[in-house]
Amino acid sequence: MRIVLLGAPGSGKGTQAQLLQARHGVPQVSSGDLLRDAVARGTELGKKAKAVMEAGQLVSDDIVLGLIRDRLSRPDAANGFILDGFPRNIDQANSLDALLREIGQPLDAVLLLDVRHATLMQRLAGRRICPKCGSVYNVSTMPAGVTVCPKDGAEVYQRPDDKEDVIAKRLEVYAQQTRPLIKHYTRLGLLRTVAGEGELDAVAERMEAAALSKPIPAGKISVGRKPSAVAKQAKRKAKKPVAKAKAARPPARKAAAKVASKRRKVVKAAKKSAKKAKTARGKTSRKPVARKKK
């Protein structure tokens, strides 16, 4: 499995990448984690990246590409990978295409997690992380007053770029630089859009189905569709009871199915009576009369 996860900050790429990693045994390669690790270790590269990340901007392409190239050359990525947060602009996508061609590892799919703006804001502003085990929580679902990780008791913290003004910047950068990748991967026939709201397991199931689905021929894809329409549609579907969904089948389709079934019955009956007539004729027919010789 070689896939790219696309989606706005807070769309759940990291969480879903971990689930896919556990299920398929291929590593999650997160550019954000690689950068945060470099910052934490205080490397030269990390020092350069720190301020840029805290301002919600993109770190330079050559730094990120270097990290990704190194990571993909590690043995555990030989059988596949889940790229999370990379590529994030068209230049990075082109560099990735070239790199994967070079190492003979073409992408199987690009999964876009579609989540509404309001949900993104709520998820990011409320996100808290355990420094010990890396578990991610949200203040909206943590019991009131609890600020420690239930697994190991460590005080959870807020990522510096999850402050509201930085979140706004990151979403703006996403809209301007990363969203154009939707068209790029649609044209390559690789994009699948997954409704990213709802229960974690339900999203994971949709991701799984999308990751394993066959590629859509590029000619059959409508590039213009607004991704958020997918989220709305999924929500509507989830609300609709099954019986109602059946009843809501377009009447034209129902009528066409009825006509087709009627036609099949008529044809069958006609064939049957033709066969009967033939048999009857066979029984009563005279022996062929010999031709008179001239």
Binding site for ligand ADP (CB under 6 A): 9-10, 31-32, 35, 52-53, 56-59, 64, 85-86, 88, 92, 161, 170
2 a catalytic residue: no
For ligand ADP, the closer of residues 17 and 149 by Cβ is 17
C-alpha separations of 121 from 23, 54, 88 in Å: 29, 17, 19
How far apart, in whole angstroms, are the C-alpha atoms of residue 230 and residue 232? 5
Q: Least distance (Å) from ligand ADP to the CB of residue 220?
A: 30
The residue annotated as part of the active site, out of 50, 123, 127, 192, is 127
For ligand ADP, the closer of residues 9 and 210 by Cβ is 9
Q: Least distance (Å) from ligand ADP to the CB of residue 129?
A: 11
Q: Least distance (Å) from ligand ADP to the CB of residue 140?
A: 17
Q: Tokens 């190492």 belong to which residue?
A: 103
Q: Least distance (Å) from ligand ADP to the CB of residue 49?
A: 7
Answer for the pair 167, 121: CB distance below 8 angstroms, yes or no.
yes
294 a catalytic residue: no
The residue annotated as part of the active site, out of 159, 163, 169, 179, is 159
13 a catalytic residue: yes
For ligand ADP, the closer of residues 109 and 120 by Cβ is 120
237 a catalytic residue: no
Tell me the Cα Rg of the chain.
29
For ligand ADP, the closer of residues 136 and 216 by Cβ is 136
Q: Least distance (Å) from ligand ADP to the CB of residue 128?
A: 14
CA of residue 90 relative to chain centroid, distance: 19
For ligand ADP, the closer of residues 118 and 266 by Cβ is 118
How far apart, in whole angstroms, are the C-alpha atoms of residue 55 and residue 145? 29
Answer for the pair 122, 237: CB distance below 8 angstroms, yes or no.
no
How far apart, in whole angstroms, are the C-alpha atoms of residue 131 and residue 136? 10
Which residue's C-beta sits nearest to ligand ADP? Answer: 32
- Cβ contacts of 116 within 8 Å, gap of 6 or more: 197, 228, 231
Residue 7 phi, psi dihedral angles, 5° rounding: 160, 160
DSSP class of 2? E
Q: Tokens 């807020």 belong to which residue?
A: 158
The residue annotated as part of the active site, out of 50, 88, 123, 192, is 88
291 a catalytic residue: no
Question: Which residues are catalytically annotated?
Answer: 13, 88, 127, 159, 170
